[in-house]
Amino acid sequence: MPIYEGGDIEELRQAVGRRLSPHRLTILGPQRLPGRFRAFHEGSVGLYDLAYGAPVRLLARDLPGFYNVILPQAGAGTVVVNGNALPSSLSVAGPGDVVSMEWDHLAVNGALALSQETVTEVAAVRLGDVPQGPLRFRRHLLDGADPAVRSWLALVDAFRQFLLSPLAHRPGLGVRHFERLLVDTLLDVQAHSWSVEVPGVGTTMLPGTLRRATAYCEEHADEAVSVSDIAQAARVGVQALREGFRRHLDTTPLAYLRRVRLDHAHRELTAIAEGNATGSVTEVACRWGFTHLGRFSAEYRQAYGRLPSDTSKGRQRLSTNA
């Protein structure tokens, strides 16, 4: 959809400002070609083409509520983000970044605008919670030599082709799913402040992820559960899971699961002692996954200060004497 086409650069600047970001524009030379601004799609992800037809310098001091990926198509230009000149204009910036760009009269650039709300939603699903502060990309340059980045750029091209097809205009969630796929895969190829793997710091796991992991242990304590099962339920990798449990709970996932099972066994033995349930220590231990009775007794005594048999029989005697 054409938004603007013609020779009035100020009118073009205003159109871009309304759709994307207000910016300061300096014209560096005569306009030699008509300027144009086109929208292929506008939604939680917007896809645009922009050409000024004149050598210009642009300065955007903050991107209001969106992340912008610059996709150079023709001509030459430079991009500076937060005072750092990038070796290529293929780049991404977001809220809080100051972006300066300079283009020659032949420059044509695609712009993929990702709403901050959608990026936050997608990242929160991946990580389990929403950290404080906006997501910031650690590197603003998109490395075109990286096969993963090239694959992501091919996905952007596929999105453009999809938008031109009749299928994109049919009712359904096709476009919405494509938008979220572009965001999700960008977060895979470009390191950011909410990355699960933090270079130089180690693996992090957020509180929401930990809550899912511990809830899974509680709900499935009577089943055969592996560390991979817990990681899958928490939606993190095994390494992140282990590091999260170590950092936040000072234990391991399987040790935590074992203590949950021990607590269940303790409650059952207490119920037996109080006459609210029946069974033996062996039956209770096996029901909660403790097949080695000697080890179960040792762990139980360490946790509760008495043997499992003392809990049931001792509590029974206290109940009888009362």
**Token pair for residue 183?**
């965001």
Q: In 3-state terms, what secondary structure has residue 217?
A: helix
Query: CB-based contacts of 140: which residues, under 8 Å, 6+ apart?
Result: 79, 81, 82, 84, 86, 91, 92, 93, 97
pLDDT given at position 170: 78
Minimal CA–CA distance to 91: which of 42, 144, 52?
A: 144
- Measure the CA–CA gap between 71 and 78, rounded to whole angstroms: 12
Query: CB-based contacts of 316: which residues, under 8 Å, 6+ apart?
Result: 272, 273, 274, 275
pLDDT given at position 291: 86
Q: Is the dihedral of CA 187, 188, 189, 195 positive or negative?
A: positive
**Token pair for residue 32?**
């030699």
Instruction: Describe the crossing of helices 253-273 and 308-321 by its angle, rounded to 10 degrees.
Output: 30
Residue holding tokens 């992140």?
A: 240
pLDDT given at position 127: 65
Whether the CB-CB separation of 229 and 216 falls below 8 Å is answered with: yes
**Token pair for residue 82?**
């937060």
pLDDT given at position 317: 38
Residue holding tokens 């809550």?
A: 211
Instruction: Report CA-CA distances (Å) from 314 to 66, 119, 239, 299.
Output: 65, 58, 43, 18
Q: pTM for the full model?
A: 0.64
- Return the exposure string of 107-137: e unless at least 16 CB atoms fall within 10 Å of the residue's CB, then b: bbbbbbbbbbebbbebbbebbbbebeeebeb
- Measure the CA–CA gap between 285 and 277, rounded to whole angstroms: 14
- Measure the CA–CA gap between 154 and 189, rounded to whole angstroms: 13
Eight-class DSSP state of 288: T
pLDDT given at position 316: 38
Phi and psi, residue 34, nearest 5°: -60, 140
Q: How many CB atoms lie within 10 A of CB 265?
A: 26
Minimal CA–CA distance to 115: which of 14, 42, 44?
A: 44
Task: Give pLDDT tens digits along the chain (322 positions).
Answer: 899 999 999 999 999 999 999 999 999 999 999 999 999 999 999 999 999 999 999 999 878 889 999 999 999 999 999 989 999 999 999 998 999 999 999 999 999 999 999 998 888 776 666 666 788 898 999 999 999 999 999 999 999 999 988 888 877 678 888 999 999 999 989 988 776 543 333 344 556 788 889 989 999 999 989 998 898 888 887 888 888 888 888 899 999 999 999 999 998 998 888 888 888 999 999 999 898 999 999 999 888 888 999 887 764 333 333 3
CA-based max dimension of the chain:
102
pLDDT given at position 131: 62
Q: How many CB atoms lie within 10 A of CB 252?
A: 14
pLDDT given at position 207: 66
